[in-house]
Structure 1
Amino acid sequence: MATHLRCRISLPRSYRPQDILAFHRRDTQEVSERVDDSSLHKGLLWQGVPACLSLRFEPGQAVADLALDGMAPTGSKALLKATVNRMLGLAQDVDAFEQRYSNHPLLGQLISKQAGLRVPVAVTPFEALSWAITGQQISVGAAVSIRRRLIQATQLRHSSGLLCHPGPEEIAGLAPDTLRQAGFSASKTRSLQEISSLLISKQLVLVEDLQADSIEELRERLLAVRGIGPWTVNYTLLRGFGWLDGSLHGDVAVRHGIETLLGTPEKLTEKQAQAWLQAFSPWRALLAAHLWASRSNTAY
């Protein structure tokens, strides 16, 4: 029995829908997401049920429709609204960042060109963590291709035709050779399956409404997993939870963006980039997103 849920979300006047649409448009083969000029359709597992989340942007609001191939689990209506708010970055305090640095000699022009920029967030922290592991030290294009093959390997298809991103149970159930054939290295295969097993056993919990006082605990827990480093953790915190203060100094595109701002011909080391970003806490990850946006849509 199919179930449909709907909610409407008010958007601030400065909201930039194209940032959200561009983030989900990266896979041009559209096996899991379909994007047009004003809407997104995304296949996903909704508490284990194949579903399609459709987001349509209208003046001043976003309309979300969730079509499930089955009964909606208890609490789905409230969870839908919370999920869409998080995906759209509506809790991110971008106004405070822009007010603080609008007259900054290096950041002022950058912020003026990209006023209202928010960071698109994945449907679940696990999807963000999976993407972070996939994207370690490779190009966005290569990561998109590997992600697509991972989704195709599990064949979790919604009635709309879109495939759903697998959850921990599905990934833990794959043979390591299947992940290797999808393009994952041996190290990434091990990390992804270890994370999945930890989540299944509840030894690791990814709570969507992560509070600030729990961030360091989660950071330490993730760093204890072999193959998970600071970039993967901070990227996951940004794309999975909308936390804006992770230092993404390990990101090549971020370092190049800083070099451009500083007008220096010399390449920055990770340590130098980390020291430079520190001055912009608690918005280091939001600044990284501005640097990504200023370069191209090929950054993470």
Structure 2
Amino acid sequence: MKHRFSLALPTGYRVQDVLAFHSRDAESVAEQVSPEAIRKGMLLGGVPVVLSVALPKGRARSVACEADAELPRARKVPPALAALIEAAARNILGLHIDPAPFVAFAREDALLGPLVVRQPGLRIVQSATVFEALTWAIIGQQINLSFAIALRRTFILQAGRQHKDGLWCYPEAADVAKLTVEDLTTRKFSRAKAETLIRCAQLVAAGELDIEERADNPIPAICKNLLAVKGIGPWTVNYALLRGYGYADCSLHGDVAIRAALQRLLGEESKPDMARTEQILQRWQPHRTMAAAHLWASLADRPNESA
């Protein structure tokens, strides 16, 4: 069952940022990336979906999207599922945060200004769903990027489902909740990481942990509830806010790559510690998410340090 739609693109949209983020796993089982398109597999509302986005060429102002949802008995994609699909497309294209306010804010900043000038139009590309962002944040805790990517691939194969066209779909909470700790620890996950992933999924699947942002469940409440889950700390919450919600003011002071980028900018022999990093990042409130994007981009020649 196909659902077709298009999304408007802003002036100066940087296709290369989207390509770089979604092609970080050369052996990806859930994404296929080419210069012309991105195909992303995901479970949405229990339905295996492959989203195809035809990437723009030149100065195109819109992008065509098509989702193939496995709904054999339906005549058309239900509105609720269509809304989830379109939200996922906006996320993976990085359309949630408008970078212009941050550029105006930081252009003259003595420390970050030169980076902003060199990276006009830089955006935060998100995961397709909040749950994907949260699990990706847990997987990436305290390990380098290349190992995290390999674990993510294993995680998808263990908990996801395969679409009829062969692409694997990133799992939802109900799928992960069915795993045992041994399903992951026998595949290079630490016990603590496996337990946190499954614990979080079980809470979400049971409705005990609400991760959907709404008027009655704002970001501060979500943060508080996430921090109450064993194995989830401030870095994980802030990274999930950035990749899952497109929250504009995430403080990634615990991120090794952010600290490495600041070390380079400051010209110092060692990375600033977390307390000093947090203090430095405060100068860019309420735009710390975009500040993180520019700091990560400054480490492009050190891919294993960039999140």
TM-score category, normalised to shorter length: over 0.9
Query: What's the counterpart of residue 242 of structure 2?
Result: 238
Structure 1 pair 210–112 and aligned structure 2 pair: CA distance change class (3 A): farther
Counterpart of 2:88, as a letter, is: T
Contact between 1:7 and 1:80, CA under 8 Å: does it hold in 2?
no
What's the Cα RMSD here? 1.7
**1:230 CA drift (Å):** 0.5
Aligned to 1:248, which of 252, 270, 278? 252
Contact between 2:30 and 2:41, CA under 8 Å: does it hold in 1?
yes
Counterpart of 1:228, as a letter, is: I
User: Unpaired runs of 5+ in structure 2?
Assistant: none
Contact between 2:180 and 2:198, CA under 8 Å: does it hold in 1?
no
Query: What's the counterpart of residue 46 of structure 2?
Result: 48
Name which of structure 1's ranges 144-153 and 181-190 shifts more when overlaid on structure 2. Answer: 181-190
The residue matched to 2:25 in structure 1 has which SS? coil
Count of residues in correspondence between the two structures: 297
The residue matched to 1:67 in structure 2 has which SS? strand
Aligned to 2:286, which of 274, 278, 282? 282
Q: Give the Cα–Cα distance (whole angstroms) in 1 for the partners of residues 270 and 241 of structure 2.
A: 30
**1:266 CA drift (Å):** 3.3
Query: What's the counterpart of residue 176 of structure 1?
Result: 181
- Correspondence 1:115-194 to 2 at 5 A: 115-154=120-159, 156-194=161-199
The residue matched to 1:295 in structure 2 has which SS? coil
Q: Does 1:64 align with 2:62?
A: no
Name which of structure 1's ranges 148-157 and 31-40 shifts more when overlaid on structure 2. Answer: 148-157
Query: What's the counterpart of residue 13 of structure 2?
Result: 15
Q: Give the Cα–Cα distance (whole angstroms) in 2 for the partners of residues 15 and 211 of structure 1.
A: 30
Q: Deviations over 1:143-173 (max 9, x none)?
A: 1111111111235110121111111111111
Aligned to 2:34, which of 22, 33, 36? 36
Counterpart of 2:228, as a letter, is: A
The residue matched to 1:182 in structure 2 has which SS? coil
Q: Give the Cα–Cα distance (whole angstroms) in 1 for the partners of residues 154 and 243 of structure 2.
A: 21
Q: Give the Cα–Cα distance (whole angstroms) in 1 for the partners of residues 241 and 285 of structure 2.
A: 15
Q: Deviations over 1:156-213 (max 9, x none)?
A: 1101211111111111111210111222211111111111111111111121x55698
Q: Deviations over 1:10-53 (max 9, x none)?
A: 11111111111211111111211100013110111121111101
Query: What's the counterpart of residue 214 of structure 1?
Result: 218
Q: Give the Cα–Cα distance (whole angstroms) in 2 for the partners of residues 255 and 210 of structure 1.
A: 32
Q: Give the Cα–Cα distance (whole angstroms) in 2 for the partners of residues 267 and 65 of structure 1.
A: 44
Counterpart of 2:65, as a letter, is: A
After TM superposition, the runs of 4+ consecutive aligned structure 1 residues lying more than 6 A away are: none
Counterpart of 1:22, as a letter, is: A
